Amino acid sequence: MSVDEAAVPAVLAARTGGSARRRGMVARPVALWQRRRAIRLLVGRDLKVRYASSALGYLWSVLEPLLLAGIYWFIFTQVFTRTVGAEPYIVFLIAGLLPWTWFNGAVTDAARALHVEAKLVRSTNVPREVWVVRVVLSKGVEFLLSLPVLFLFAFLYDASVDWQLLLLVPAVLLMATLVLGIGLLLAPLVVLVRDLERIVRIALRLGFYASPVIFAVQDVPEPWDAVFSFNPLAGIFELCRAGFFPGVVDWGHVGLSVAMSLGMLLVGWAVFARLERTVLKEI
């Protein structure tokens, strides 16, 4: 019985280990779900380190987006005359910067997830996706915990609030999907090609200005607005802002976000499954 497993895609290969039985793209999410306790444990540990171990823990997690918001608010309302975004601009900024902080932090950390936890990955038989999912969720919880700051500023600056605030829910789901997809794609690649980590950091820097954080896609002149529409973050940020700025949501952008996030997740997971065995040897 010589099954040449190398000839079939790794995704379909049978490797049964402990309770985690994985065969292909259906079984992988199932195996992950079975080990959700491990994920909860790791996320809990992350949050504990973040919030319990330093008195300023909570402040740290909102400080960066707030400082950035302050700086952009100053530059674009005091130095320049603001022509982009919407009023109150500080709320517009925070509603974009908080989800951007999640995206930025999760992609940076997820890319290094397998590399940084090499010792744990080598010694524990949990589905390897756990290490990426854990980062996405930890950063996601930090995002949720930072939302009160957004509401506080909306209240202080007397922003209008309506039922579309509920669109934050699909925004969170979309962001989690997108970041998980990107993380699953990058984590194994960073183990194999170390300099990719640096490229990711540069790409994120540029990505900030390629994403509608300090402006809206509608502010981008033709023909460039078409390019910005294809950024999956455009739809997500619009959903985040919908509750305070009526009419900001372009459902075309949201549709593209959904399609691209799901596509990213499929591609990311396929690459992850394909590279898993090589990564386990190199790590």
Partner 1 sequence: MAVTEPVIAVRDAGVRFHRGKRHRSMRDFLIRGERGTRPGEFWALDGVSFDVRPGEAIGVVGRNGEGKSTLLKLIAGVMLPDRGTVDVTAGVAPLIEITGGFVNDLTVRDNIALTAGLHGMSKADIAERFDDIVAFAEIPDFLDTPYKHLSSGMKVRIAFAVVSRLEEPIILVDEVLAVGDKAFKRKCYARIDELVAAGRTLFLVSHSDGDLRRFCSRGLYLRGGRLVEDGPMADVLARYETDAGT
8 Å CB contact between 149 and 62? yes
In the complex, minimum distance from the CB of residue 259 to partner 1, in angstroms, rounded to a whole number: 24
Task: Determine which residue in the list 63, 160, 166, 278 makes contact with partner 1, applying CB under 8 A.
Answer: 278
7 binds partner 1 (CB under 8 A): yes
Piece of the chain touching partner 1 by CB under 8 A; list 12-20, 96-104, 235-243, 248-256: 12-20
Given the complex with partner 1, which of 9 and 29 has the nearer CB atom?
Answer: 9
Q: Which range of residues in 89-97, 160-168, 213-221, 268-276 is near partner 1 by CB under 8 A?
A: 268-276
Q: What is the CA radius of gyration of the chain?
A: 20
Closest contact distance (angstroms) between CB of 105 and partner 1 is 19
Q: Give min distance, CB of 185 to partner 1, in A.
A: 12
Cα distances from 117 to residues 130, 176, 191, 235, in angstroms, run 11, 21, 11, 33
- Among positions 5, 33, 63, 71, the unique one binding partner 1 when judged by CB under 8 A: 5
The answer to whether 135 contacts partner 1 (rule: CB under 8 A) is: no
Q: Can you tell me the distance from the alpha carbon of 136 to that of 178, in angstroms, rounded to the nearest whole number?
A: 10
Q: How far is the CB of 6 from partner 1 (least distance, A)?
A: 5
**How many whole angstroms separate alpha carbon 1 and alpha carbon 83?**
70
| Cα dihedral across residues 160, 179, 101, 60: positive or negative | positive
Please tell me the distance from the alpha carbon of residue 161 to that of residue 69, in angstroms, as a whole number. 20
Strands (E), the chain: 15-17, 20-22
4 vs 222 by CB, closer to partner 1: 4
Q: x-or-dash pattern for partner 1, window 89-128, by CB under 8 A? A: ------------------------------xxxxxxxx--
Q: Which long-range contacts (CB under 8 A, 24 or more apart) does 266-270 make?
A: 266/181, 267/181, 267/185, 268/180, 268/181, 268/182, 268/183, 268/184, 268/185, 269/25, 269/28, 269/129, 269/181, 269/184, 270/11, 270/25
| Three-state DSSP state, 16 | strand
Looking at beta carbons only, is 192 or 204 nearer to partner 1? 192
CB of 144 to partner 1, least distance (A): 23
* Contact stretch for partner 1 (CB under 8 A) within 56-64, 158-166, 187-195, 213-221: 187-195
> CA 76 from chain center: how many Å?
27
User: Of 11, 20, 111, 136, which one interacts with partner 1 (CB under 8 A)?
Assistant: 20
Which residues contribute to the site for partner 1 (CB under 8 A)?
1-7, 10, 13-20, 35, 37-38, 41-42, 45, 49, 119-126, 192-194, 274-278, 280-282
